[in-house]
Amino acid sequence: MTGFVSFVSSGPGDPELLTVKAADRLRRAEVVLYDDLSAGPILDMTPPGAELISVGKRAGRASPRQAHVSRLLVDHARTGARVVRLKSGDAGVFGRLEEEIATLRQADIPFEVIPGVPSPCAAAAAAGIPLTRRGVARRVQFVTGHDVTGALPEELNWSALADPGAVTAVFMARATFPELAQRLIAAGLPEDTPALMAEGVSTPRQSLHRDTVGGLAGRLAVAQREEAPTLILYGALAE
Provide the whole-model pTM: 0.90
Q: Taking the domains of the chain in order of start, what are their residue ranges?
A: 4-114, 119-235
Predicted pLDDT of residue 146 = 83
Predicted pLDDT of residue 43 = 95
Over residues 212-234, mean pLDDT: 88
Identify the helix (H) or strand (E) that includes residue 170. strand 166-171
Taking the C-alpha atoms of residue 113 and residue 102, their distance in angstroms, rounded to an integer, is 13
**Per-residue pLDDT for 124 more than 60?**
yes
> Do 4-114 and 119-235 share a fold?
no
Query: pLDDT tens digits, residue range 28-82?
Result: 999 999 998 777 899 999 999 999 999 976 555 556 788 999 999 999 999 999 9
| Closest among 112, 131, 115 to 123, alpha carbons compared | 131
Predicted pLDDT of residue 2 = 79
Query: DSSP letter at 40?
Result: S
Q: Is 14 a catalytic residue?
A: no
Q: Which class would CATH give 119-235?
A: alpha beta
Which amino acid would we find at residue 57?
Answer: K
Q: Is 35 a catalytic residue?
A: yes
Catalytic-labelled residue, pool 35, 90, 163, 211: 35
Predicted pLDDT of residue 226 = 66
Please name the fold of domain 4-114.
Cobalt-precorrin-4 Transmethylase; domain 1 (3.40.1010)
Share of the chain above pLDDT 70, in %: 95
Q: Is 172 a catalytic residue?
A: yes
Predicted pLDDT of residue 57 = 65
Predicted pLDDT of residue 16 = 95
Query: pLDDT tens digits, residue range 142-187?
Result: 999 888 777 888 889 999 999 989 999 999 888 899 999 999 999 9
Catalytic-labelled residue, pool 14, 45, 87, 172: 172
Q: Among the residues of the chain, which ranges form H helices? A: 20-27, 66-77, 97-106, 119-127, 158-161, 177-186, 213-222
Query: pLDDT tens digits, residue range 186-201?
Result: 999 999 999 999 999 9
* Better pLDDT: 125 or 134: 125
Predicted pLDDT of residue 39 = 76
Round the average pLDDT of the chain to a whole number and report it.
Answer: 92
Catalytic-labelled residue, pool 21, 24, 36, 57: 57
